[in-house]
Amino acid sequence: MLVMGKLFICNGPKNKPIPFLRGILTRSLQDAGLEFNQAYQLASEIRAQLNRDNEDCTMTPYELRKAVQEQLKQHHSEAVLKRYNASGVLPETIMVRLGPTQLTPFSRLQHQRDLDSCCLTREESATITNRVFEYLLERGYSEVSTEELIKLTHQYLMAEAGVEAAKHYHSWIKFQRSNIPLLILIGGAPGCGKSSIATELAHRLNIVRIQSTDMLREVMRMMLPKKVAPSLHTSSFNAWQMLPQGGEGEEGSPDKPLIDGYLAQAELVSVACEGAIQRAHKERVSLILEGVHIYPVLIEKIHSLTSQMLIVPVMLATLHPDLLKQRFKGRHKDQPERRSKRYLRQFSRIWQLQSFLLSEADNAGITIVHNSDKEAMVQEILRLIGSAIEKRCDAVKDKDKDRNR
């Protein structure tokens, strides 16, 4: 009876070999999209191929992964191969040393998020992360220090993305270590994409706290009845109807009643906004605050925190009426509870409110980001954040130089 030799996987010279486990590879292939029978058969064929001499042999996880990829290329669809590559499931773990006694597994997701801050596309970030990971695997690393990992990543960025991206990455790492909270303020009229942009930024920058000013307003409505604060109990573009003059404009701009109503509501909501910001500052956590109530006066109110938080305000804009109307119609399909018909009926007022917000942002020097393409908007805001981080790091460097003189 022929006895098959054993196949071992060894992750680096300092580690003991572990047996190749067909069940682990089978589950990885199932996660990539194969049926159980297909996955089990392929795992068996790969084991037989790698151990064709029927003698005990040892290989690295990188060599095993390459063998699996080759089989998938020959016998299965590109989609299966992509899912397998994205899964990152391997019978080894590369540990990152954070300090003398602290180790954590290398996370490709976290590494890619750090690269997202360099204003790279998702594809570019994923490519560089995979290059770094494969470099470590190929050379049998079982452990790498954070400094080594940063240096290696910086080298790949320089080679494949350029000096600016490498500089952004270096500044982002320094900023993360500074323990300074990042406060991103996203303003804009209804329908311009504040919520979706905030969610995407939070995902890419690993920010766990997002707060909507609409939600804060809803809480305030529960605490302050309509008789006490009537302007809270309606939309921002209809708050003028709750003013004492009943919306009858006085002398000046015909938009004045609408703007007065908005400002009355925004002034009330700003109290809750300041509370949320103060809480984030106290707990030293980053926060994204988004909503129609983000406007220059609020930013002035929290100016005293600029030395303790990095504050990045932006104002979103949809500059074509037809595009904004289309967004409301699309919103009705995706989120019927948000009552798009009501927004379309009030479109002229929403447009007037947007004109006011953009004018105020322009006067205050707040960056206006045009809502055309979601990815382009995210990239522009990431560049803005990266620039603010670099300025903060440069300012700290200058202070250190002055102290040493």
Q: Where are the domains of the chain?
A: 7-87, 95-178, 182-372
d(CA 126, CA 116): 9
From the list 50, 28, 52, the residue with the least C-alpha distance to 40 is: 28
**Residue listed under structure tokens 């522009």:** 380
Q: In angstroms, how far is CA 192 from the centroid of its own chain? A: 19
Q: Reduce the DSSP state of residue 302 to 3 states and report it.
A: coil
* pLDDT tens, position by position, 242-256: 887 655 544 455 678
| Three-point CA angle 48, 53, 57, nearest 5° | 80
> What is the secondary structure of 9-65 as a DSSP string?
E--STTS--EE--HHHHHHHHHHTT--HHHHHHHHHHHHHHHTTTSS-EEE-HHHHH
* pLDDT tens, position by position, 289-348: 999 999 999 888 888 888 889 999 999 999 898 888 888 887 655 555 556 788 888 899
* pLDDT tens, position by position, 49-98: 887 766 778 888 778 888 888 989 888 888 888 878 766 544 456 888 88
Residues found in the chain: 405
pTM of the predicted model as reported, rounded to 2 decimal places: 0.73
Give helix then strand counts, H and E, for the chain.
Answer: 16, 11
Architecture of the domain made up of 182-372? 3-Layer(aba) Sandwich (3.40)
Which value, in Å, is the radius of gyration of the alpha carbons in the chain?
A: 27
* pLDDT tens, position by position, 201-228: 998 898 999 999 999 999 999 999 888 8
**Residue listed under structure tokens 């939070």:** 202
Taking each helix axis from N to C terminus, what angle separates 61-75 and 78-87, rounded to the nearest 10 degrees?
Answer: 160
Q: In angstroms, how far is CA 10 from the centroid of its own chain? A: 35
Taking each helix axis from N to C terminus, what angle separates 108-116 and 122-138, rounded to the nearest 10 degrees?
Answer: 140
> What is the secondary structure of 189-231 as a DSSP string?
-TTS-HHHHHHHHHHHHT---EEEHHHHHHHHHHHS-TTT-GG
